[in-house]
Structure 1
Amino acid sequence: METIKSRAEFERVFSRGKRYNDALLRIRVVPTSEGDLPKVAFVAPKRLGNAVYRNRCKRVLREAARACSLPRDGYDVILFSTDKTHDSSPERVATSLERLLERAGVVCG
């Protein structure tokens, strides 16, 4: 799974991407440039809690992303955890993620 790492990549997704919200997670999606590999990032803001709590949230997001076969061709996606992500199963988060991806118009890969 190719991940977004650089500040420039994050800023590109934030400035050009479109945001979609759900109770279990939020996503920001942007089409990739021609020839670029699709990438994904996992974010758990500090306001959610300590490092152990945030790492659990990111593990749940990563498992949900695998279940939804992210990253999908042609799109960069950033997944943000919410306060409900921690207590949810990866399967429930994957269902919410699929619903958000459909709203975003991201085609199945």
Structure 2
Amino acid sequence: MAENKDQALDERLKSALWFSIGKIVDEETLKLGVNATPQFIGALTEMVWAQIENVSIDLENFAKHARRSTISTEDVMLLSRRNEGLEVVLKVYLDKQKVGKSKRPTR
């Protein structure tokens, strides 16, 4: 029964992902004046789903290796080392977050 619930949840999540990707593809195809087939959207959804699965496994393994049960920003930064552009964007974002937290008044 738990397996059925997990499978149903996966299907709902994949449907939500398909819907979101479909909206993005529709917006972009209108801008570019091109068409995208439902098969393209389905294939893109499957590719994104597989990437999400791989990223989640990597993040879980990084946290487990550090003997933690919670994924941290350090795990995300470790994962982003494979993509230099993403790593830079994330570092800038984290730096802004740290500055914002330090400017908050203490209670």
- What TM-score comes out, normalization by structure 1 length? 0.24
Larger radius of gyration between Structure 1 and Structure 2? 2
Higher strand share: 1
